[in-house]
């Protein structure tokens, strides 16, 4: 069973990833300095992949970049496995 702190962690990091991706989209629309893709990937691999995926869907952000989508899918697969393993054991 997942510890309550892990649940809080996942909620926090997903909210952060969602907000950072949204900020990056706004910066892109206003032709401003952008957030580095490697930082967006880092947020995904730290557990914010679901917030990142939601932001990609809602904001239509980086959905045409196949490499970015593939890395996000890899992070999602990893975290689904981690969550299922933690929930079962």
Task: Report whether pLDDT(1) > 60.
Answer: no
Count of the separate structural domains present in the chain: 1
Tell me how far apart the alpha carbons of residues 41 and 30 are, in angstroms, rounded to a whole number: 22
Task: Report whether pLDDT(16) > 90.
Answer: yes
Return the pLDDT at 31: 94
Return the pLDDT at 87: 84
Query: Once rounded to an integer, what is the mean pLDDT over residues 2-21?
Result: 93
Domain that holds residue 10: 4-88
Tell me how far apart the alpha carbons of residues 71 and 21 are, in angstroms, rounded to a whole number: 15
Tell me how far apart the alpha carbons of residues 26 and 24 are, in angstroms, rounded to a whole number: 5
Output the pTM of the full model.
Answer: 0.91
List, for residues 23-80, the tens digit of each pLDDT value. Answer: 999 999 999 999 999 999 999 999 999 999 999 999 999 999 999 999 999 999 999 9
């Amino acid at each position: 069973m997942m510890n309550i702190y892990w649940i809080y962690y996942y909620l926090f990091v997903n909210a952060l990833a969602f907000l950072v991706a949204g900020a990056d989209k706004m910066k892109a629309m206003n032709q401003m300095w952008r957030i580095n893709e490697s930082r967006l990937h880092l947020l995904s691999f730290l557990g914010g992949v679901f917030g990142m995926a939601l932001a990609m869907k809602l904001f239509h952000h980086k959905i045409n970049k196949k490499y970015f989508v593939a890395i996000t899918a890899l992070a999602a697969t990893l975290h689904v496995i981690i969550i299922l393993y933690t929930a079962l054991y």
